[in-house]
């Protein structure tokens, strides 16, 4: 497999004193890496003059390290407690709180909805508690559970939806973290039973691979089974009439990004479908390019290996603009003619700008 190089890799290389000319010639560059290389060509970084007599700048604080010995549900309780109270575990708990706060601020969760899990051992996971708003989540709220869902540590009761996350982890050995929430636009697609069409926006193609699971009661083993059956080739599952769940083989931050990306994507589609024009898509060849980047990043996708003619099939997606508006029943009150005029004027302006 060819190496995929991101802008971050290039920045790390430069920071460690490396030379960008040492990058493998056949490496696949992400778009941001390509931009960065172009910038570097135009403005090569100046090496700072050796600071005579000055002490070297202190290195950034080292990230807390995971326990030397892998833990499992069979580990002695004191070992589990030491892990649960360690700086490493606190860092993970803080990452979960940070993601929870951002989900709440962006209105991806409502009431006490949404949950987050991180795999921390062979059959162990950290998870969010039940009945706590993600907007107020604190590190001491986080629970430790085994893969049967038994709570091992933590002052609060674990979420009832953890069973689904655990079933996903058992089915997908690469999975490190998962995030479940109810972002309105993506959830609207899940309610309407429409899988978002493809070949429209690069970010969505690279970071997400979407499938839909039918509705079952949240927290039930049946729901967990339907979702976990999809995680071998999909990293974001639309749960019909409920919400979304995303997973990552890297970290909880990346699982959360996926929810931001699908929500922005679904929102853009809804807006684009109102503009009165058929939506443009990229070509199968352009999608194939993105899939190569995706595969290099280690993300799953059911489309790897498909022929170009099998990609970009949007036949199922019929934007609202193509549907005739249903005629209003005769007994319905007529709309405000002034408001209608304003709406018409705005629509005309948008259409005029697009021409």
Q: Which residues bind Zn ion (CB under 5 A)?
A: 243
**Residue 179: φ, ψ to 5°:** -135, 130
Residue closest to 177 by CA, chosen among 123, 256, 238, 81: 256
Place of tokens 């004027």: 345
Q: How far is the CB of 147 from Zn ion (least distance, A)?
A: 20
Q: Which is nearer to Zn ion, 236 or 290 (CB)?
A: 236
Alpha-carbon distance 104 to 137, whole Å? 10
Sheet with 177-181: list strands edge to edge.
151-153, 143-146, 124-127, 115-121, 177-181, 243-248, 236-239, 210-213
Residue number with CB closer to Zn ion (113 or 296): 113
Nearest residue to 145 via CA among 180, 117, 170, 175 = 117
Report how far residue 135's alpha carbon sits from residue 49's, in angstroms, rounded to the nearest whole number. Answer: 47
Asked if 121 and 144 touch (Cβ cutoff 8 Å), the reply is no
Nearer to Zn ion, 100 or 243 (CB): 243
CA 47 vs. chain centroid, Å, equals 37
> What is the spatial distance between Cα 103 and Cα 107, in angstroms, rounded to a whole number?
6
Say if residues 252 and 99 touch (Cβ distance below 8 Å).
yes
Q: Using alpha carbons, select from 103, 221, 121, 110 the residue that is nearest to residue 162.
A: 221
Query: Nearest distance from residue 157's CB to Zn ion, in Å?
Result: 16
Q: What is the DSSP letter of 139?
A: G
Nearer to Zn ion, 243 or 319 (CB): 243
Find the residue with minimal CB distance to Zn ion: 243
Give the shortest CB-251-to-Zn ion separation in angstroms. Answer: 22
To Zn ion, the closest distance from the beta carbon of 234 in angstroms equals 18
CB of residue 152 vs Zn ion: minimum separation in angstroms? Answer: 23
Query: Based on CB atoms, which residue is closest to Zn ion, 158 or 294?
Result: 158
Q: Which residues pair with 180 in a beta bridge?
A: 115, 245
Q: How far is the CB of 113 from Zn ion (least distance, A)?
A: 5
Catalytic residue of the set 41, 79, 105, 161: 161
The answer to whether 294 touches 205, Cβ cutoff 8 Å, is yes
Residue among 88 and 215 whose Cβ is closer to Zn ion = 215
Which class for 215: exposed (0-12), middle (13-18), buried (19 or more C-beta within 10 A)?
middle
Asked if 263 is an active-site residue, the reply is no
Catalytic residues: 161
């Amino acid at each position: 497999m060819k190496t995929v190089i991101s802008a971050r890799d290039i920045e790390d290389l430069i920071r460690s004193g490396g030379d960008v000319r040492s990058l493998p010639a056949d490496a696949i560059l992400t778009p941001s890496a390509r931009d960065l290389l172009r910038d570097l060509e135009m403005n090569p970084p100046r090496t700072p003059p050796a600071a005579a007599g000055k002490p070297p700048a202190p290195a950034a604080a080292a990230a807390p390290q995971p326990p030397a010995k892998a833990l499992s549900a069979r580990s002695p309780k004191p070992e589990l407690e030491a892990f649960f109270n360690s700086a490493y575990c606190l860092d993970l708990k803080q990452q979960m709180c940070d993601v929870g706060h951002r989900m709440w601020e962006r209105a991806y969760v409502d009431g006490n909805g949404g949950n987050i899990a991180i795999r921390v051992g062979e059959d162990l996971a950290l998870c969010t508690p039940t009945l706590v708003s993600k907007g107020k989540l604190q590190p001491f709220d986080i629970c430790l559970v085994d893969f049967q869902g038994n709570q091992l540590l933590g002052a609060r009761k674990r979420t009832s939806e953890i069973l689904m996350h655990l079933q996903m982890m058992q089915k997908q050995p690469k999975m490190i973290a998962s995030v479940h929430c109810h972002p309105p636009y993506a959830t609207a697609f899940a309610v309407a039973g429409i899988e978002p069409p493809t070949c429209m926006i690069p970010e969505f193609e690279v970071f997400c691979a979407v499938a839909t699971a039918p509705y079952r009661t949240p927290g039930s083993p049946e729901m967990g089974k339907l979702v976990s059956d999809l995680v071998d080739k999909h990293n974001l599952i639309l749960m019909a009439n409920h919400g979304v769940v995303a997973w990552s083989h890297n970290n909880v931050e990346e699982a959360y990004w996926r929810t931001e990306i699908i929500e922005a994507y679904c929102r853009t589609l809804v807006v684009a479908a109102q503009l009165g024009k058929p939506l443009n898509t990229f070509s199968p060849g352009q999608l194939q390019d993105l899939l190569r980047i995706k595969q290099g990043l280690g993300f799953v996708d059911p489309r790897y290996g498909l022929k170009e003619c099998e990609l970009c099939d949007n036949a199922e997606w019929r934007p609202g603009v193509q549907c005739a508006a249903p005629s209003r029943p005769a007994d319905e009150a007529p709309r405000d003619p002034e408001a209608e005029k304003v709406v018409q004027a705005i629509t005309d302006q948008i259409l005029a700008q697009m021409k």
